[in-house]
């Protein structure tokens, strides 16, 4: 493949991933609603996992192909992009009030997940048993989130006050034919798998042709491509002033990236973190700490904080790409 063909393969892969995630979320949400699961619980599970499905499929395929740098780089790069780029853009677009639950509960868990990942990668490998622990943490986090949210819904009696657009659409379509929803789920999964294959093939070819490591491509191009669902969701929510969705989406995605993406990927095959060193992991943790500081102080995001995060992300890309 030429460089142009490789980039086109990556671009096509990203488009397929986006289409696949959309189909999976809509189909699975509608099926869950038909089964009597509450809309809020669908939002917490199906939508959250659906927006992380591109990272999951790409990382699993990379692990099975022995491309550990892409698998780890994809998650670490996505986490940095979620904070530097996505939270930064959200803060610049619209200063928003910060939910204290996000600061006191979800952000510390995000930092904990990052810390656990750093410890697990001290030996340069993410083993199967470590992947099992990450996946168990994902299950515990999801179950706790569902229980807490259902209790809050019962108290507030406002379960549909801030539904993600995908869930609202699925709720309206819940009476549509069962076969259509099955086709959306199956088609979405098929597009995700094929899109991940195209993105991964293009990324490896780009790394070879540009003379950079696969980890650098994973940390930049692949991470940005797989973070597009989170970016789109956050921008829409920020412009609507829905801070809980805008900020919660980015923070929650980071938690899912470590627990629900690298967990299954490492279970599929042990992952060598080739090219992802302590420096990049330190940058990821630093972005997490700065985000916690910004959201903890003042009770709301401020535009200058968004600018700082965006400049930090630009500086990270400039430092990373030779």
CATH of the domain at 178: 1.20.1420.30
Per-residue pLDDT, 243: 57
Instruction: Give the separation between CA 106 and CA 99, rounded to whole angstroms.
Output: 10
Q: Contacts from 286-293 at CB under 8 Å and sequence distance 24+?
A: 287/79, 287/80, 287/83, 287/84, 287/312, 288/79, 288/83, 288/107, 288/110, 288/111, 288/114, 288/254, 289/111, 290/83, 291/83, 291/87, 291/107, 292/103, 292/107, 292/108, 292/111
**Residue predicted with more confidence, 256 or 282:** 282
**Selected residue with higher pLDDT from 76 and 251:** 76
Residue 208 pLDDT level (bands cut at 50, 70, 90): confident
Provide the domain limits for residue 185: 3-320
Among 67-81, 119-133, 222-236, which range has the highest average pLDDT? 119-133
Task: Give the predicted TM-score (pTM) of the model.
Answer: 0.77
Rounded alpha-carbon distances, angstroms, from residue 40 to 105, 152, 168, 201, 213: 19, 11, 10, 37, 42
Res. 144: pLDDT tops 90: no
Greater pLDDT, 200 or 3: 3
76 pLDDT tier (thresholds 50, 70, 90): very high
pLDDT value of position 156: 47
pLDDT at residue 274 above 60?
yes
Q: How many domains does the chain have?
A: 1
The mean pLDDT value for 142-166 works out to: 59
- What distance in Å separates the CA atoms of residue 254 and residue 182, rounded to the nearest whole number? 29
């Amino acid at each position: 493949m030429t460089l142009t063909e490789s980039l086109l393969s990556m671009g096509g892969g990203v488009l397929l991933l986006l289409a696949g995630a959309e189909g999976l979320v809509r189909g699975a949400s509608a099926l869950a609603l038909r089964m009597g699961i509450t809309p809020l619980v669908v939002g917490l599970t199906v939508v959250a996992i659906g927006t992380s499905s591109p990272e999951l499929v790409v990382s699993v395929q990379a692990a099975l192909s022995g491309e550990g740098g892409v698998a780890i780089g994809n998650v670490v790069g996505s986490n940095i992009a979620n904070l530097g780029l996505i939270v930064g853009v959200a803060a610049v677009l619209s200063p928003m009030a910060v939910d204290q639950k996000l600061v006191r509960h979800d952000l510390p868990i995000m930092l904990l997940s990052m810390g656990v990942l750093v410890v697990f990668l001290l030996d340069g490998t993410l083993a199967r048993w470590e992947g099992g622990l990450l996946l168990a943490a994902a299950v515990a986090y999801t179950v706790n989130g569902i229980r807490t949210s259902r209790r809050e819904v019962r108290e507030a009696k406002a379960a549909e006050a801030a539904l993600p657009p995908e869930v609202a659409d699925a709720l309206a379509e819940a009476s549509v034919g069962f076969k259509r929803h099955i086709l959306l789920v199956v088609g979405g999964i098929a597009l995700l798998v094929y899109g991940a294959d195209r993105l991964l093939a293009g990324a490896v070819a780009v790394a070879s042709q540009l003379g950079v490591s696969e980890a650098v491509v994973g940390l930049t191009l692949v991470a940005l491509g797989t973070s597009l669902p989170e970016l789109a969701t956050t921008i829409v929510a920020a412009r609507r002033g829905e801070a809980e969705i805008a900020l919660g989406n980015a923070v929650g995605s980071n938690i899912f990236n470590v627990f629900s993406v690298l967990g299954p990927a490492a279970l599929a095959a042990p992952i060598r973190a080739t090219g992802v060193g302590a420096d990049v992991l330190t940058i990821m943790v630093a972005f997490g700490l700065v985000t916690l500081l910004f959201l903890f102080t003042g009770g709301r995001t401020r535009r200058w904080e968004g600018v700082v995060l965006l400049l930090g992300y630009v500086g990270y890309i400039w430092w990373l790409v030779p």
